[in-house]
Amino acid sequence: MPTINLAEAEQIIAGSKAKIFEMGVKMSVSVTDSRGDLIAMIKTDGASWRTPTISRGKAIASATFGAPSVDLEERSRSPVFSAFTVMQEGNFIMSQGALPVFKEGEIAGAVGASGGNSKEDEDVARAGIVAAGLSMTA
């Protein structure tokens, strides 16, 4: 199974960071593998203390389902997914702001962001993936 390697994660972080500074927001960005294990994370100066956890939770959800986290928002209201979120101790956030990363047609991980509004979070995740030359679709 393909995965995001550290060099790619660093490229994602660099691209995301450039977008954050362009937008003038304070954010955290997390890059995970397909299991949701953290590969790399940044928290910009002045970003809220809770943004690292939220960015990772969004990335975990996106990686788990191989889908943009915005597509999972409706499912989050289901009792099954509410229970799953509790089982994951809140480290599974089905809210806009993360995108999956595919390599060789398979899920390789995800990028999540937190600190802006939901669209800004997703835009930062997208900028990182594009900067690394990776794909958001299978």
**Angle, CA 58 vertex, CA 101 and CA 108 arms, to 5°:** 20
* CA 113/CA 32 separation, integer angstroms: 12
What DSSP letter does each residue of 32-79 carry, written as one string? Answer: EETT--EEEEEE-TT--TTHHHHHHHHHHHHHHHTS-GGGGTTGGGSH
The percent of residues above 90 in pLDDT, for the chain, comes to 85
Lowest mean pLDDT among 6-15, 71-80, 109-118, 119-128: 71-80
pLDDT 10s digits, 57-74: 999 999 999 999 999 988
List of domains in the chain:
6-131 (3.30.450.150)
Assess whether pLDDT exceeds 90 at residue 89. no
